[in-house]
Structure 1
Amino acid sequence: MTQLQEAYIVAATRTPVGKAPRGVFKNTRPDDLLAHVMKSVMAQVPQLDPSLVEDAIVGCAIPQGPQGLNMARMGVLFAGLPNTIGGVTVNRYCASGVTALAMAADRIRTGQADVMIAAGAESMSMVPMNAILTDMNPAIFSKDENIGIAYGMGLTAENVAKQWNISREAQDAFAAESHRRALAAQAAGYFNAEITPYDVSDMGVDLISQELRAKGFTVSQDEGPRADTTAETLAKLKPVFAARGSVTAGNSSQMSDGAGALLLVSEKILKEHNLTPIGRFVSFSVRGVPPEIMGIGPKEAIPAALKVAGLQLSDMDWIELNEAFAAQALAVIQDLGMDESKINPLGGAIALGHPLGATGAIRAATVLHGLQRTGGRYGMVTMCVGTGMGAAGIIERL
């Protein structure tokens, strides 16, 4: 049996995250965002010939419309990378980006590749969730055990809030803290190292001259954090998924647009090109849970990923637990007895946004740069996944 080799991360970057559907990237194609981070991540390692890259694995939760036609391959070509590089788009809903990272790492660990790009991209402005073209199997509705598959994500969050006794007050406080941490991180410049600014060029009509004019601007920071968000202001919002519920737009993740990319190499490439790794991919696990409480998924995936790595939860210095909803994040924290000071230190999806299939790659960049800045050793990216799953990936800083 061939012994597994290590997969090293030598670069990681992301775009800023824009708000959907009317934010800074509302007219920017997701394949253009993807090409931007692919080009940028390669530029971070100029001594590595791009022709050495063998494949690009890209996560996308709704691979249709502008992000269809195998967006991974489109991104490679639009980035001006050698056309010898392959591309495949993978879909595990919200865990698509971290799944792409795990798959790229596995190609290297099994000796099938030496250089890989892992990425994620999503535009919820151009491909909103309610525009999904799907034909549900009648078995979903004819069998009671399958009906949870059809539940909207918000309703599953209400189910979790009820089953785990997560109060509205706790959810709003958690959401307000997400914004506070994100704003503090922006003010301190903590995101600067992981973000590659994006130049937007929009066309619009001048209402006075009636002329079509181009408007250009540079996006360099996440659009979502709001300084006016407090637990008190959030408490005024009405539930949106259940009449007597507790889940609101304010304590749920934001719909967003964005992309992230990482460059992975084998030890052979590290030595031959004298590269300095920023991280080592350690382990990845996925576990299933009942679809009607899909938000609790990380509580099963996290212990599984830790077991594979031979580590304990206390070994984690930085945990990016995707805040799909405050209710599900709090339930996971409660069930596993997690240290909240280590979770989303710079804020989470409630403030920073959640561009679905891109989030795993984006937050992996956050973990790597955060560990570099703070000197921590181990970090984790974890999230719940639609239809009842949880995913978790562990990275070691080098």
Structure 2
Amino acid sequence: MSAVIVDVLRTASGRGKPGGALSAWHPAALLGTVIAELVDRAGIDPALVDDVYAGCVSQVGQQTQNVARTAALAAGLPVTVPGTTIDRQCGSSQQAIHFAHAAIASGLADCVIACGVELMSTHPIGSAAIGHDPIPGQVHGRFPGLTHQGVAAELVAARFGIGRDAQDEYAARSHARAAAVDWGDEILTVAGIDGVHGVDETIRAGTTVERLATLQPAFRTDALAAQHPGLDWAVTAGNASPLTDGASAVLVTSEAFAAAHGLTPRVRIVDSVAVGSDPVEMLSGVIPATERILDRQRMRIDDVDLVEVNEAFASIPLAWLAAIGGDGDRLNARGGAIALGHALGSSGTRIMTTLVHGLERSGTRYGLQTMCEGGGMANATLVERL
């Protein structure tokens, strides 16, 4: 049984710091607002939703106690609609789409909301582990070079020979591409800290390579430099994704459900995969994930019209392009997380929202999205415009 995506919706990105446009929201209320609008636009009985799968990474404070369930209740869904919260790090809401795909393809569900939220302004990255090391001694012993994602981005850049200039050029291009797009049709305008918020707060039109070149390395310390003498330390705040607040949601149904309820599918989920990769390098899993999904479908990268590789750091899509090949103009053609932000738990469904609209605007057929994830993992999703 085929799973189709009927609708996609996101908030505009807010800067993930105090005073950011979305920083006054409760995460469950923000996600609930998006869910409510998604269901209302579909015009279906909310009781027909079989489940709500929500991605959220920093499950601490207001993002605890199963934010999927509290968001569903905040959205006004019937109490009979359950929800569960997923942490596959940055790919959490992309995994929500994958679980929806699996549930529908297997016949266990007919209508699922896959969604995600992260308010990094009030729930900073790493806040769930404050005062504790989530990595046990067995893992440290097995992987003695285990480090954080900033150093991992430097390791990926070093392996693929991606220098500072290339990363800054890529970042400037991301902002330029995003600034050229009219995003209104995929954004739900919500209340902001200073009125209404319907424009991505993270896009910096006019960003230049020259300005980016003045920024200092974000992750270099004397201790890390001694530990990794071969690194260039080229990752900066300018060629990495910004801290971001946001929420997004995708309505996934079976083809039969869509037909029975007068819904027009926008894309079909062709395939979805997840892979593990080296947890030290951590962020290069997008390469084997892409290879696996293309191999499963007997496709080449040139068969894919639009590709979204999450821009957690500029080195990741650049490494992907070096390894996989293909047309760079098809890669993050409307800009990516460097410009649009990376609200961790929301990013998977945010990217799917952008990909679906990109396929429709370009009139093209196949879209691929892939996401690197903490711990050394990656998801990949292939969709076909209908």
Q: How high is the TM-score relative to the length of structure 2?
A: 0.93
Are the aligned partners of 1:53 and 1:85 in contact in 2 as well (CA < 8 Å)?
A: yes
- The one of 97, 105, 110 equivalent to 1:101 is 97
CA distance in 2, matches of 1:137, 1:49: 44
Counterpart of 2:32 in structure 1 is 35
Shift of residue 148 of structure 1? Answer: 4.2
Higher mean C-alpha displacement, 169-178 vs 59-68: 59-68
CA distance in 1, matches of 2:139, 2:373: 20
- The one of 262, 271, 278 equivalent to 2:259 is 271
CA distance in 1, matches of 2:167, 2:259: 48
Structure 2: 5+ residue stretches without partners: 222-231
Shift of residue 142 of structure 1? Answer: 5.0
What is the one-letter code of the residue matched to 1:235? Answer: A
Counterpart of 2:214 in structure 1 is 236
- The one of 208, 221, 226 equivalent to 2:199 is 221
Higher mean C-alpha displacement, 72-81 vs 265-274: 265-274
CA distance in 2, matches of 1:173, 1:236: 13
From the superposition, tell whether residues 371 and 142 of structure 1 become closer, same or farther in structure 2 (CA, over 3 Å): closer
Counterpart of 1:193 in structure 2 is 185
Pair 1:174-2:175 in alignment: no
Shift of residue 138 of structure 1? Answer: 3.8
Q: Is the partner of 1:238 in helix, strand or coil?
A: coil
Per-residue displacement from partner, 1:134-189 (whole Å, max 9, x unpaired)? 4434415751x32344x11110111111121111000000000011101111xxx2
* Counterparts of residues 5-154 of structure 1 (less than 5 Å): 5-22=1-18, 23-46=20-43, 48-133=44-129, 134-139=132-137, 143=141, 145-149=142-146, 151-154=147-150
Are the aligned partners of 1:120 and 1:259 in contact in 2 as well (CA < 8 Å)?
A: yes
- The one of 157, 162, 167 equivalent to 2:158 is 162
Higher mean C-alpha displacement, 327-336 vs 90-99: 327-336
Per-residue displacement from partner, 1:355-393 (whole Å, max 9, x unpaired)? 112100011011111111211111111111111112111
Pair 1:257-2:245 in alignment: yes
Pair 1:325-2:313 in alignment: yes
Are the aligned partners of 1:161 and 1:327 in contact in 2 as well (CA < 8 Å)?
A: yes
- The one of 211, 233, 245 equivalent to 1:245 is 233
Counterpart of 1:343 in structure 2 is 331
What percent of counterpart residues are identical?
40
What is the one-letter code of the residue matched to 1:199? Answer: A
Are the aligned partners of 2:58 and 2:126 in contact in 1 as well (CA < 8 Å)?
A: no
Per-residue displacement from partner, 1:250-309 (whole Å, max 9, x unpaired)? 111111011111111112212222221111111111112211211211001011122233
CA distance in 2, matches of 1:310, 1:31: 40
What is the one-letter code of the residue matched to 2:51? Answer: D
Higher mean C-alpha displacement, 126-135 vs 36-45: 126-135
Are the aligned partners of 1:7 and 1:266 in contact in 2 as well (CA < 8 Å)?
A: yes
Per-residue displacement from partner, 1:13-60 (whole Å, max 9, x unpaired)? 0111111113111221211111011011112211x2111111001111
Counterpart of 2:228 in structure 1 is none
From the superposition, tell whether residues 340 and 6 of structure 1 become closer, same or farther in structure 2 (CA, over 3 Å): same
Counterpart of 2:354 in structure 1 is 366
Are the aligned partners of 1:225 and 1:351 in contact in 2 as well (CA < 8 Å)?
A: yes
Q: Is the partner of 2:280 in helix, strand or coil?
A: helix
Are the aligned partners of 1:156 and 1:295 in contact in 2 as well (CA < 8 Å)?
A: yes
Are the aligned partners of 1:139 and 1:146 in contact in 2 as well (CA < 8 Å)?
A: no
Structure 1: 5+ residue stretches without partners: 203-215
CA distance in 2, matches of 1:263, 1:219: 23
Are the aligned partners of 1:148 and 1:291 in contact in 2 as well (CA < 8 Å)?
A: no
Q: Is the partner of 1:92 in helix, strand or coil?
A: coil
Provide the alpha-carbon RMSD of the alignment.
Answer: 1.4
Are the aligned partners of 2:308 and 2:370 in contact in 1 as well (CA < 8 Å)?
A: yes
CA distance in 1, matches of 2:304, 2:21: 34
Q: How many residues align?
A: 373
Q: How high is the TM-score relative to the length of structure 1?
A: 0.91
From the superposition, tell whether residues 141 and 315 of structure 1 become closer, same or farther in structure 2 (CA, over 3 Å): closer
What is the one-letter code of the residue matched to 1:247? Answer: V
Q: Is the partner of 1:242 in helix, strand or coil?
A: coil
- The one of 276, 281, 286 equivalent to 1:288 is 276
From the superposition, tell whether residues 239 and 313 of structure 1 become closer, same or farther in structure 2 (CA, over 3 Å): same
Counterpart of 2:381 in structure 1 is 393
